[in-house]
Amino acid sequence: MSLENLHTHTWRCGHASGDVEDYCEAALKRGFGVLGFSDHTPLPEGRWPRIRMSLNSYPDYIRRVELAKKNFAPLKVYLGLEGEWDPAFKEFYDNEILKGGHLDYFIGAVHFFPFHGDWLYLEEASSAAHLAAYAAQAAETLASGYFNLLAHPDAFLAGYRRWDDNARSCAKDILDAAKACGTVLEINGNGYRKRRQRGLRSYEIFYPHKAFWEMAVRRGVPVSISSDAHAPEELDDGLEACRRLAADLEAKTVTAADMLK
């Protein structure tokens, strides 16, 4: 299996660097066979403007990735996006994002979850009630039918930082929903990067978390591995650790070709 990464961000989201061509060059240099772009999707006016691309940037994003499909052969390039789910986004996704059928895939993610009329950031998940709300949001994201893959489903641990009955119950709810929808779950290399950046010791509770993925494997949920690169030099960052985790657990790893047929 050639090296693959389906989770890649460009400068357009406002917190990443590099453009499509820079990543393609880095991918070829590092021996990748597959590179998927999944920048943070535009969202309706007023929603989280600092973490996603503007709707104005979207046509150029599509154009450049489509050009890269031709210009960087034999690298297999896919056009995707990463987005959150809110039923309020449905029309926007249908009319502004998916119209034209350009996208090869859409990654779902829960960076924010609704809680008592507010949206909390995943690192604010600190109580049992938060985890229940996080799991419910993940389940709705999966059930929406908009997404091919759910990114870092164990990222609630970046806030909660304990592996106890509440964490297990949150994991169970997310995994049962993934199993029911047949959606692939992503083991995300950015968690290893964040561990390093924050000076966490390897055994500290964070994501990717082994016990979460043990539960996933026990349920037969298929997994995909990506680095969640926010700069071209991060393309393979964390991938080796993710691969080792998947191999240790004998996880059912799917390739882009399996998933994006």
Residues that bind Zn ion (CB under 5 A): 82, 228
Separation CA 249–CA 212 (nearest Å): 11
When the beta carbons of 124 and 228 are compared against Zn ion, the nearer one is 228
Shortest spacing between CB 11 and Zn ion, in angstroms? 11
The amino acid at 77: V
Cα-atom radius of gyration of the chain, to the nearest Å? 17
Q: What does the block give as tokens for 133?
A: 């709300």
Shortest spacing between CB 220 and Zn ion, in angstroms? 25
Listed residue (37, 31, 41) closest to 3, CA to CA: 31
Shortest spacing between CB 233 and Zn ion, in angstroms? 16
Separation CA 58–CA 44 (nearest Å): 13
| 8 DSSP assignment | B
Q: Which residue is nearest to Zn ion (CB)?
A: 228
Q: Are strands 184-188 and 149-150 parallel, antiparallel or unpaired?
A: parallel
When the beta carbons of 154 and 166 are compared against Zn ion, the nearer one is 154
When the beta carbons of 4 and 217 are compared against Zn ion, the nearer one is 4
Shortest spacing between CB 169 and Zn ion, in angstroms? 26
When the beta carbons of 93 and 217 are compared against Zn ion, the nearer one is 93
